[in-house]
Structure 1
Amino acid sequence: MLASDMHWSCYRPRGGGLLVSDNPVCFSGVVGTPPPQIPAAFFDHGVGTGFHNFRRLTVPLGSRLGVIISRDSQDASRLRVAEFNRFTVFNSREFVAHAPEWPGTHPGLAQDLTELLMTQRMVAPAFLQDYAPGGRT
């Protein structure tokens, strides 16, 4: 699936600033008509997406390098660091991480992180009801 009709790109933001999380593969967006029972914004949390209908996969590998696998060849050139981080936070289950100096060197992204974590804490219980640390689902 990932080899056919997918565009693979290394993502190297000029100033770095990528977050990593406990969920290394982050689904976002949906291809085709989304199911009416799932709010459209949930697709950026990976809800309702799988290998058959995701728009893009982002994989943060460190603060300065990530991978984008997308159905749209222009995603890698259009995606901003803040959006890449949003997908990382919204697909996280327990934590996101950054270097200790990251908030000082990326103040705008650090401010975004606070808001994104609040959103994730509100939305996650809706689709993680039976999730538990340690592998129990």
Structure 2
Amino acid sequence: MVAIRDYSDCIKYHTLTDEEKALCKMSARLPVLAEMALDKMLDIIQCLSVTAPKDSSSAIGSFKDLATKEGDEEKVLKKAINRCVAAIFKNADDPVTSKLGRKMLQFVKTNQFESSLATDMIASMMASMTYELPSIWISFAEHVLRNLRIVLT
């Protein structure tokens, strides 16, 4: 896999073939494409974060409903998104990872996750992100300590 960075300046400093020049020029879009991919994944998680309200026929107060049991599609989606995020953060350069890390942190701070699927997915994404971008962990930990103290055990 090619690193997610802009190589368009290489044309000025190296003798390249026409094909290599074209690739270098097109690489300017890689950071934008990585950001667009992350936006799409966050949109999916946002759609999955809302659960249907319980009706009077369901068992109210149950910790985990049978209706929300994770199916094969959810497992595949969770794994695919986790691998995409890991690939983006592993292969992007520092300015791109910093920008995407701030975007994910803002997403976590401004959204509420009601479904266990969305919560698991965003937790997995945050783990992948902090592995590749440890500097973002402090901001995330501060958010958790300040706003989510009740969920800490």
| Alignment TM-score, normalising by the size of structure 1 | 0.29
- Report which of the two structures shows the higher radius of gyration computed on alpha carbons: 2
TM-score by length of 2: 0.27
